Amino acid sequence: MTSFPALTLLLLLPLAGTGLCLLFRRKPDLCRAVTLATTLVMLALCVWAFCQQPDAAGWYLREDYPWIERLGARFTLAMDGLSLLMVVLTTFLQVIAVLISWHQKKYPAFFYALLLLMEAGILGVFLASDLLLFYLFWEVMLIPMFFLIGIWGHGRRVYAAVKFFLFTLAGSLLMLLAIIGLYLLHGRQTGDYSFALEALRNTDCGAWEPWLYAGFMLGFLVKVPVVPLHTWLPDAHTVAPAAGSLDLAGLLLKTGVFGILRFAFPLFPASAAASLPLLAFLALVGLFYAAWCAYIQGDVKRLIAYSSVSHLGMIMLGLAAANVLALEGAILLMLCHGLTTGALFALVSMLRRRTGTRELAKLGGMWKEAPIFSCFFLFFALASLGLPGLANFSGEILVFAGTFQVRPLWGALAVVGVVFAAAYILRMVQELLWGERPPGHPWPDLTTLEVVALAPLVFFTLWLGLYPETFLAHLHLPVKILLEQAAPLVAAHGGLP
C-alpha cells in the first residue's frame, strides 16, 4: 500500500468542485468544465487504485486520522476489492451523468454542484470503516438527490422527492438507533467506546442482536429496495432528470446491498444466518412482483424502474444463498445493472427530449426514425434481459450456480423469473422500435455528444459479459474474508462453500 492519501483526495476533489461551481455560479460553461474535469480526475485516480495490489488482509488502500476523539470516532477510510469496484463504478457513471446533462439550462451551477456533492457522499459510504463516519456520508448522499428530483424533475416531482426522502430517512433513523445501541454495548463490555467496524465486530450483543440487526437491515432494505419497501423508487425514477435516474439506478441502490455485505452480515452473523430464508422470500417476491408490474406499464421509464426492483431481487437472492459463487455473482450483477439499466434510463431521457412523451402508445417506429438510438436501445435492452455475452448474463449465471448449490428450489424459481424479464423487455422493444409510428414531426437521431456518452457503457457491457474475470479477480479475497467473518452464514446452508 502507498502512503499517498488517495482516499481522502477522492472525497476532497468533489467537495472542492462543488465549492467552485457555487463560487462561479454565474458562469455555467466554467461550471460544466470544472465538473467534467473533476469527475475525470477522480476516475483516473480510481483506475490507478484498480491497478494496485492488495495486502494480506485484502486492503488496497487504508487511511486513519483522528476525528471526534471524545466519542471514539475516527476518520477511517479503507478500500478492499468490494469497495474498489463500487468506487470505480461511481466515478465512471458520474462522468456519464455529466455528459448526458451537458446542456442543462435550469440553474446549471447548482445542478453540477449537487452531482459532485452526491458523488462525495456515495464514495464516503463505500469507503468509510467507522460507523459514525459511514452514517454521515449515508445522510449526505440523500440531500442532493432530494433536490435533483424536487427541482429538476417533472410531473409530480415534489411528491416524489418528499416520498423518497421520508422513506430513506425513516430507514436511516432506525439504522442510527442500531449504531448507537451497538456503540453503547461495546463500550460497556470493553470500556472502549468506539465506532470502528473492526472493534464492533467483536461485540457480544446477546438478546439485543436480532433488534440491532433489524435496525441495520431496515435502513439498507429501504435503499435496495425490496418489496414491499420499494414504492418510492418508481415514483422517483419517473420524474427524476436523466442524471438523477442514472445515479439512482446505478449507484444509490447499490449502497443498500453494500451496507448489508460490509456491516450487517459481519456484525451480526447469527441473526443474518437466521434471516436468510426471509431474505430469499423477499428476493423472489420482488423478482416476480416487480417483473409483473413492469410488464403492465405504459410509461417506458416506469417500466425500467420496476425492472430495477426485479434485478435487485436477483442480487438479494445471491446474498441469501451466501456462498462464494452467489456472492461474487451478486456483486458482479451490481456492476452490470449499474451499466445497463443506467444506460436505458439515459436513453429514455433522450427519447423524451425528442418526442415529448414516454408513453409506449404514443411511440413506435424508432428503428426507421432514429436507427442509431434504436441500436443502442436494443443493445442495452438485451443486456438487461441477460443475453449471453453481455454484462448481466455473467452475474446472473453465477447467482444461479451458487443458489442451486445450496437451495435448488430457490434457484429453480429464480430461473422462471427470467421468463418474466423476457416478457416485459421484449414487449418494450417491440412496441418502441417496431410498433406503429404515430403521425407527427420527424424525430432526430442521437447527437455526437450523446453517442460519446453511451459508447463507454457499450464497451464495458461487452467487457463484463465476455471476460468478467478482470473484475471478479478483485472479489475472491473479500468474499472469502466475509464468509470467514460470518461463519454462521455458511453453516446455515449445511457448510457448503
Domain-by-domain residue ranges, the chain? Answer: 275-497
**What pLDDT is attached to residue 1?**
52
Q: What is the pLDDT of residue 369?
A: 84
CB 283 within 8 A of CB 413: no
pLDDT in tens, 130-168: 999 999 999 999 999 999 999 998 878 999 999 999 999
Section 304-312 average pLDDT = 91
pTM over 0.75: yes
**Unique residue bearing C-alpha cell 465538473:** 35
pLDDT tens-place string over residues 257-297: 999 999 999 999 889 989 999 999 999 999 999 999 999 88
What pLDDT band is residue 492 in, cutting at 50, 70 and 90?
Answer: low
Please write the tens of the pLDDT for every residue from 189-198: 888 899 999 8
Q: Do residues 490 and 322 make contact, with C-beta atoms less than 8 angstroms apart?
A: yes
DSSP per-residue string spanning 191-221: S----BHHHHTT---GGGHHHHHHHHHHHHH
Q: How many CB atoms lie within 10 A of CB 470?
A: 11
What is the residue-averaged pLDDT of the chain?
90
Alpha-carbon span 197 to 100, nearest angstrom:
38
Q: Quick check: 16 and 38 in contact, CB under 8 A?
A: yes
